[in-house]
Amino acid sequence: MELLALLLFFAVTYGLGFSLARLVKESDGFLERHVMRVGFGLCALVVLGIALNAFRIPIDWRIILAAALAGPAYFAIFRKGHAKLRFSATMRLSGLGAIAALVIFGFSLFMYSSGAFSYPYLEDDDPWGHASAASYVASEKTVFDSPFLNFQYMDPYPPGYDMMFGILRQVSGSVMWVVKFFNALIISLSVLFFYFFARQFTGSSGRALFAMLVLASVPAYLSHFIWAPALAMAVFFPAVYALVMAGKGGRWWVVAGVCLAAIAFSHPTHAVKLLAMVAIYVFVSMVSARRLWLRQSISCFKAIAVGAAVSLLWWGSKISAFTGLAKGGLRSGTEAGLEQIRSSPNLVVRMWNILTQVLNAEGGTATRVYSFSDFFVARGTNMINNPVGFGVAASLLAFAGIVFAVARVASFVPRPRISIPAAFVAAFVVTLLPLGMSPLQLVLAAILSAFFLSLVAVFSAGNAGSGVPLWIPTTLGWLLFAFLGVNSKTFELPVGLFAFRFWMILAVPVALIAAEGLFGVFGLVRMFRLPAVTASAARLAILSVVVAGVLLTSAGQKYEVNTACWPAGAFWGGNFMLEPSSG
């Protein structure tokens, strides 16, 4: 039964992704093409399930599978030339980098799944809620709430995560196995999706592979804890991959729109954060285009419009109920605050009360004040839902990456010998006055000034940022946004949004900028004008030391956290909804 669920997952995701990818010109890389079809299909699965539910069609695995196989069957029968596999030189898995990416994916899946199955129960309490809702979906084939049962993470909470488990539960004998294994699988797939996104984003397979290693190694990027942000991260990378490809033309904006809608269906507050990341990407693209901003960004705007329109399948009818209950992810305030929301006299007042409760710098059950060591040192004893920390090697590389990023764009900054020091001093003053002096404030000043300088460089270069890698200002913008998000309570900001959940998002730009740090060090080797063989040996030695450092100061601690025996939740032993008949 478990094998049948696994086959169903890949048949559905690949089939839906295949049909969606027919709209565009895919990558020539064999592995990239097929893996990203699974990513697009995962997004399409979430959207399809919500669409079926909106039209009161049962969310049945047979209907889902038929829809997934319809596209491949059509191309196989009527358009054979378009459906065949392209066996060519690209069949070599795009080189050693792609093989290494698969190895990292395999180790990630092993770590997450072995940790999840190391005890015979579900940890904490959130997983029990998701398992109960998944069993309900499997039995009733709907994500509309039962009048007799109240599921915290479904209706009006966006139900994409539990719906996916419910579909797979229909062909599996155990909901516990489904939620444990497929949660581990989609987290591991998210790392693989990240690799192909980073390769297109940075234009460098080497940077993408090292960034993937860092992301998979740092404790801050997702544990095997069963909660909806895992799905949100998994569908985010196909979305930004499609947005990057949309900049090259074609109908990628349709694919991106479907993926953006999947983000909206995955989690209420995490979707806000990830869509803010998308907005930063679009903003940098607009700055680089200057007067041609509308023409250059039209694909992004069309993707956002498609995503917004599709998201109405759920949010069009649920936003009022969701805000009225402050249910699921919105419980960041006090009970008095929730009562204030419920007693609001009209919609305008209600929305204002919700914003003041939700955008609370101290909101979130695990939000706290962080110190520099929380970022710099990775620990084997950590939180189970969202561990914190990056490790010594990854942190040092990220710091170096910020410096090298500024160095790469410096030639495009007007009067760099004056403007670059001035930007750092200005950022330092801006952060020092309201926040005071501490190591974290210094880091914030460095990120802020680097982001500002990269924007100036992109704008000054003109011609859509010609000569300036657009991924650098985008990554620095993501780094600034997520760093502030994590530290909303630390810096006593006026707003926040569940700061402790920002750690997994912060890990993404940290991984990307750490890769820039490594390649910046490689660039220093050229300054010594060594013979080619000697230079290659030096770079290999540097790489070996750096990889060993990441594994010893980050990956080891992450493995320890994720393979430890986690405690059971309060519902352990008493949850009657876990194993109903699947019907």
Evaluate whether 44 touches 17 at the Cβ level (below 8 Å).
Answer: yes
Of 36-50, 487-501, 536-550, the range with the lowest mean pLDDT is 487-501
Q: What is the 3-state secondary structure (H, E, C) of 108-137?
A: HHHHHHHHHCCCCCCEECHHHHHHHHHHHH
Of 263, 284, 304, the one marking the end of a domain is: 263
Residue 22 lies in a domain: yes
Helices 30-54, 96-116: crossing angle, 10 deg rounding: 50
pLDDT tens digits for 216-242?
Answer: 999 999 999 999 999 999 999 999 999
DSSP 3-state of 568: strand
Residue with more model confidence, 286 or 146: 286
Q: Which of 25-29, 430-434, 511-515 has the highest mean pLDDT?
A: 511-515
DSSP 3-state of 151: coil
Residue with more model confidence, 153 or 502: 502
The burial of 403, by beta-carbon neighbours within 10 Å (0-12 exposed, 13-18 middle, 19 or more buried), is given as middle
- Structure tokens belonging to residue 152: 């915290």
Can the peptide bond before residue 494 be classed as cis, meaning omega within 30 degrees of 0? no
Of 263, 296, 315, the one marking the end of a domain is: 263
414 and 549 part of one domain:
yes
Whole-model pTM: value is 0.92
The burial of 120, by beta-carbon neighbours within 10 Å (0-12 exposed, 13-18 middle, 19 or more buried), is given as exposed
115 and 257 part of one domain:
yes
Of 212, 235, 263, the one marking the end of a domain is: 263
**Nearest by Cα to 458 from 446, 475, 442, 470:** 470
Residue 416 lies in a domain: yes
- pLDDT of residue 82 exceeding 90, the answer is no
Residue with more model confidence, 423 or 82: 423
Supply the pLDDT for residue 326: 46
Residue 520 lies in a domain: yes
pLDDT tens digits for 473-525?
Answer: 999 999 999 999 999 999 888 888 889 999 999 999 999 999 999 999 999 99
Residue 452 lies in a domain: yes
Name the region of 561 (left: φ>0; alpha: ψ -120 to 50; beta: rest): alpha
Domain of 379 in residue numbering reads as 372-562
DSSP 3-state of 344: coil
64 and 193 part of one domain:
yes
Residue 466 lies in a domain: yes
Evaluate whether 124 touches 135 at the Cβ level (below 8 Å).
Answer: no
Evaluate whether 420 touches 406 at the Cβ level (below 8 Å).
Answer: yes
Q: How far apart are CA 240 and CA 500, in angstroms?
A: 23
Mean pLDDT for the stretch of residues 72-91: 67
Supply the pLDDT for residue 327: 45
Residue 581 lies in a domain: no
**Nearest by Cα to 163 from 125, 136, 187:** 136
Name the region of 564 (left: φ>0; alpha: ψ -120 to 50; beta: rest): beta
Evaluate whether 218 touches 554 at the Cβ level (below 8 Å).
Answer: yes
Residue 435 lies in a domain: yes
- pLDDT of residue 181 exceeding 60, the answer is yes
The burial of 9, by beta-carbon neighbours within 10 Å (0-12 exposed, 13-18 middle, 19 or more buried), is given as buried
138 and 15 part of one domain:
yes
Residue 255 lies in a domain: yes
Number of structural domains the chain divides into: 2
238 and 381 part of one domain:
no
pLDDT tens digits for 446-474?
Answer: 999 999 999 888 888 765 556 788 999 99
The burial of 582, by beta-carbon neighbours within 10 Å (0-12 exposed, 13-18 middle, 19 or more buried), is given as middle
CA distances (Å), 467 to each of 403, 415, 463, 494, in order?
18, 17, 9, 38
